[in-house]
Structure formats: structure tokens, C-alpha cells
Amino acid sequence: MPTGVALRDAREQLFDAAERVLLREGPSALTSRAVTTEAGCAKGVLHRYFADFDAFLAELVLDRIRKLDQQADALRAAAGTRTVVDNLTDALTELFGSVAVAIVGLVISRDGLRARLREARPTGIPLMTEAGAMIGSYLAVERHLGRIPADADVDTLAPTLIGAAHLLFADRTGDPPTAEAVRKVVTAVIAA
């Protein structure tokens, strides 16, 4: 007798289920059983596609990094439109309003996952490093357009913005920061 639900794109459904568990209950609740229960499938489905749970989690993080590329393209395309502060406020809110904060907690809390991710990404915190690159590439375009000073150190501004925004969004249990709170931080960092 069949059990569970039909999985059309099992990997993506498992990733989405993992995100829901992460957002609802945090990194410590993320187990293979929690993911497959959330996805409505047998535990063996996860192991059919991934060697073990850390392999699954590494692929989840790498998949979410790949999705960040789309946001990076859209942010660079926004250069020269609206204000730099508005573009950065929206980009940081979109980034940290997603599963990014929970993924950082996940990466930090699991030694096996970190070890696997280090094979492809030897420095920084996966996802945050790529987010910093996204912000840096956007700022470089704005600098080229003359909308921020020619001597602006985008390689310092980008991780500063990522770190400051991450602190605003870090409390998963409280209310997310307002757009005005994010704008205030962006304005202060950019003004410096």
C-alpha cells in the first residue's frame, strides 16, 4: 500500500520542507525525520537522493546560494534607479526576510555540514559570503555610475551592511525589523 504523497520534484520538495521546519522550529529541530514528515513522504526518500543528512543539508545551502544569484542580478539591474539606500534596504530585507538567518544558524550549529561546505567554500560563512559579494557588486556599479563616492570602499561597505542587517534580523522569535529600521542602518553605513 503506498504511503505519503507523490513527489514531482523530490529534491525541491524536501528543500522546501526543510526551510519550513527551519523557520518554524530552528536549526536544532531539523532532522531527517522532521524534513520527511513535513514533506509528507517516507524517510527513505531523502536517502534515495542524498548519501546522508549532512549531504542533504549541504545541498540545501548550496541550492539557496544559487537562488541568491537571481537576486544579485536584479539588484545590479536596479543600479541607477530609485535611491541607493532604497535599493539596499529592499535587497537586505528580502535577503534576511527569507530563510537566510536560519541557514546561518544551521551552518554554525552543525560541524559536519560546515566541513562539507568548506570543501567548496573554504572561507566565510556560506550564504553570507555570497550575499556580501552581491551587495559589493551592486555598490561597485553604483560607484561607477557616480551615485556613491568614487573612493567608496565597497569591499568594506558590503560586509558591514550584511553584518549590520543580520543583527537586525537575527532574533527569529521576535518581530522582524521595520523597513525604517533597516533604512536607518543602511543610511548610516553608506554615509560613512
Q: Domain range spanning residue 36?
A: 1-49
Same domain, 37 and 59: no
> Does residue 108 surpass a pLDDT of 50?
yes
Domain end marker among 28, 49, 70: 49
> Does residue 192 surpass a pLDDT of 90?
no
Same domain, 96 and 178: yes
* Better-scored residue on pLDDT, 84 or 43: 84
Predicted confidence at residue 2, as pLDDT, reads 43
Please state, in angstroms and rounded to a whole number, the distance separating the CA atoms of residues 82 and 88. 10
Where do we find the cell 536560519?
Answer: 102
The CATH number of the domain holding residue 21 is: 1.10.10.60
Same domain, 165 and 95: yes
Predicted confidence at residue 91, as pLDDT, reads 96
Global pTM value: 0.86
Could you say which DSSP state residue 41 is in?
S
Phi-psi region of 98 (alpha: psi -120 to 50; beta: other; left: phi over 0): beta
48-55 contact pairs (CB < 8 A, 24+): 48/10, 49/10, 49/11, 49/14, 54/110, 54/112, 54/113, 54/116, 55/116
Looking at the chain, the whole-number percentage of residues with pLDDT higher than 90 is 68
Same domain, 28 and 69: no
**Residue 62 in grid coordinates:** 548550496
> Does residue 40 surpass a pLDDT of 90?
yes
Is the separation of the CB atoms in 70 and 76 below 8 Å? no
> Does residue 155 surpass a pLDDT of 70?
yes
